[in-house]
Amino acid sequence: MARVALIFVAVFCVFQLSMAAKIRRDAPVEGNTSDIGKTLEDAWSNFQKQMEQTFTKENLDKLANEFKEFGEKVKSAGTDLLAKVEKKAEETKN
């Protein structure tokens, strides 16, 4: 589960760096301000496309299932730990 978060952070950072480099590279020459809007609109549309590709229904369902499995593992581990503690408490009580 931590891998998914780390991969997301890494991809997000790489994407942000590439977009920052593209905006700087495509920056208009002094005095030509009409291209600034086009560059920012292109960057925004690229960002929207990337987010639509990343956060598809299948990916979100897969992530939800992984969270569910993780919760079940935590629940079973907690139940086992509680059973062990209760057993030790009973042994020390008797």
Going residue by residue through the chain, which has 94 residues, state the pLDDT in tens, using 9 for 90 and above: 678 888 888 888 878 877 776 655 555 556 555 555 667 788 888 888 888 888 888 988 998 999 999 999 999 999 999 999 999 988 888 6
What's the pLDDT at 12?
86
Q: Please indicate, yes or no, whether the overall pTM of this predicted structure exceeds 0.75.
A: no
What's the pLDDT at 71?
94
Rounded to whole angstroms, the maximal C-alpha distance in the chain is 88
Alpha helices (H) along 1-94: 2-25, 34-54, 57-93
Half-sphere exposure of 79 (CA within 13 A, CB side): 6
What's the pLDDT at 72?
94
In whole angstroms, what is the distance from residue 17 CA to residue 31 CA?
Answer: 26
What's the pLDDT at 67?
94
